[in-house]
Amino acid sequence: MKWLNRLISAKSSRTDATKPTEPGFVGSVACPVAPSEKFTAPQQPPANEASADPDRLCWPHGSTMNTAEIDTFTARLARFTDKGLTLSDAEALADGLVQRDREMDDRRLCLECAHLQGAIGRWRCGNAVVAGIGLRAADAQLPSDLTHQLQRCAGFTNFHGQGNNQ
């Protein structure tokens, strides 16, 4: 029998074979379909699973910002740029406020307040009487330097609407 005839008449080998097909010949060996009884893989949740705590290495356990701090930073950044600050100035202020929050400093920026009105150069406090800035609403003009300075204010209301405490 010629070689070509042998190949044509030969039965195809199984792709899932784990033992030699005939004694004395080396057969094909395939990967087992199921896990071996002797080996069990360690049970470990996937890295992107929702139950894994994304903040486990963040503040207060490390120096990186946690999820809440990132959300607050992003909201402040949007607020400050909406009020007319450049992106670099807004990032610097928002980054400084992360440190302020971690140190539990109770001072606030006028830029964080919901009562701040106007834009750069024409700032005005909408709660000037309660804040103690003036005796009348007409006295509510604010210098630009004051809006960027940490201070305590009785009339402060966070632009998120969280009141005077945050």
Q: For residues 76 and 87, is the Cβ–Cβ distance under 8 A?
A: no
151 is a domain residue: yes
71 is a domain residue: yes
Give pairs for 130-136: CB < 8 Å, separation 24+.
130/154, 130/155, 131/155, 131/156
The tens digit of pLDDT for each residue in 14-65 reads: 555 555 556 655 555 555 555 556 656 667 666 666 666 777 777 777 788 8
Q: For residues 139 and 129, is the Cβ–Cβ distance under 8 A?
A: no
The tens digit of pLDDT for each residue in 109-162 reads: 989 999 888 887 788 888 888 888 777 766 678 888 888 899 998 888 888 755
Between 65 and 165, the more confident residue is 65
Q: What's the pLDDT at 160?
A: 72
144 is a domain residue: yes
The one-character DSSP state at 65 is -
114 is a domain residue: yes
Is 164's pLDDT higher than 60? Answer: no
Q: How many domains does the chain have?
A: 1
10 is a domain residue: no
Euclidean distance between CA atoms 72 and 12, whole angstroms? 65
Between 104 and 36, the more confident residue is 104
| pTM (2 d.p.) | 0.61
For the chain, the distance separating the N- and C-terminal CA atoms, rounded to the nearest angstrom, is 91
Q: What's the pLDDT at 21?
A: 57
Q: What's the pLDDT at 61?
A: 74
44 is a domain residue: no
Number of Cβ atoms within 10 Å of the Cβ of 40: 8
54 is a domain residue: no
Cβ partners under 8 Å of residue 8, min gap 6: none
29 is a domain residue: no
Give the range of the structural domain holding residue 144, as residue numbers without chain letter: 67-165
The one-character DSSP state at 11 is P
Q: For residues 140 and 128, is the Cβ–Cβ distance under 8 A?
A: yes
